[in-house]
Amino acid sequence: MGRKPGTPVAITGIGVVTPAGSTVDDFWTTLLAGRSTAAPLKTDVDMSNHGVRFGCAVRGLDEVGLISAKEARRMDPFARFGVTAALSAYRDAGSPTPDPHRTAIVVGNAVGGRQTTDAEVGNYFLHGPHRVNPLLPLVSMPNAAAALLAMRLGWHGPALTIATTCASGADAIGHAMLMLRDHRADVVIAGGAESTLSPVTLAAFANLNAVSARNDEPERASRPFDVDRDGFVMGEGAGFVVLERLEDADARGARTYGLVAGYGSTADAYHLAMPLPDGSAAIAAMQEAIADAGLGPGDIAHVNAHGTSTQQNDRAEANALRKVFGPTGPPVTSTKSVIGHLIGAAGAVEAVAAVLSNHHATVPPTANHERLEPGMEIDVVHGAPRAITPGPALSNSFGFGGHNGCLVVTPR
């Protein structure tokens, strides 16, 4: 068993903007269907000579509203995704009205306004320096989503941005939980936002041999833990939660989706792109999150894996899961098989998926998974959703640079 758990932290609101849809219902329905959202990209750039020409683009954003056309023109897509998902979560939580000085916003983001930066670099070379948008530094700064959300809500507490690449969203939620445990805030909106579907960024990852090159069948490209996987699929989007101490949520009669019960964070201290071969730091992050929740490995009901569909990372994670849980571990799924890799937003969106799995007592299948790589000893949910008894869920996020962030979410 783990240590004595800290002050219970409730999830009272959730919001998403994803390639699987930009409402929670659409997102969940698409995950249950177990079909990838990857498709050829529509860009202003001729990508015919690119090695990779597809990805998972956000769908359904315009139907959500919440941000005016005028506001959107002054936002990079990552900030628009983030603010929309955060406001959706805020409304879902019943639009709480805490003391504005007792609030916090924590946003995970890896690269800031990549779409706007790439566009303005092109503008510079085509038309010269005097045509570069003077708002570029403000629109593209990684903290733009946190700043804009604070302005929108009039919240004066900390508005933070965490950049731990693919673990950013998980770390944001983990730090939000710690702030509430420490009574540094009464209500926290936390999550991640990212938009890296630019031709330049995609070309870089293709040259790194990190992304799948299945241009002829993009919908079959993301296949975590499958023997025929050949790289991840780039996605974009945002996921946010509203967190409050459980006693405060109950006092105002708020609906509670569950609890953020545990958080673990470690560093590989090994390589910018490759995971630590023995997986020891990832194992430590999982164990820390489980212990922080006051639990043991046998208490975990299911795992939302990092599951990128890359050779090295899937193999390393499968080995780490085997060492934490043994040969008969809990069922494992990968949300990235459906929506791609959302980089800085991935951990937050996947934590929302884990919460929804408990809420609906169902684990979505891992799309395209047909045959487990020999030597992996994990129970990958595939082919169809699997009914479960709701219980503690582990959500893993392992980022470039060796950042490991793990969350445990539980039913109330």
Cβ burial, residue 269 (10 Å; 0-12/13-18/19+)? exposed
Report the distance separating Cα 135 and Cα 106, nearest Å: 23
User: How many Å separate Cα 146 from the centre of its chain?
Assistant: 16
Q: Given its phi and psi angles, is residue 330 left (phi above 0), alpha (psi -120 to 50 degrees) or beta?
A: beta
Task: Point out the catalytic residue in the list 56, 175, 302, 341.
Answer: 341
306 among known catalytic residues = yes
Tally the C-alpha atoms within 13 A of residue 172's C-alpha that lie toward its C-beta: 42
Nearest to 235 by CA among 336, 163, 149: 336
Task: Point out the catalytic residue in the list 56, 166, 403, 406.
Answer: 166
Report the distance separating Cα 152 and Cα 97, nearest Å: 13
Name the one residue in this structure whose structure tokens are 């406001």: 87
Report the distance separating Cα 155 and Cα 101, nearest Å: 7
Cβ burial, residue 46 (10 Å; 0-12/13-18/19+)? exposed
166 among known catalytic residues = yes
Residues in the chain: 412
Task: Point out the catalytic residue in the list 56, 175, 302, 306.
Answer: 306
Helix segments in 34-74, DSSP class H: 61-64, 69-73
Give the catalytic positions in this structure: 166, 306, 341
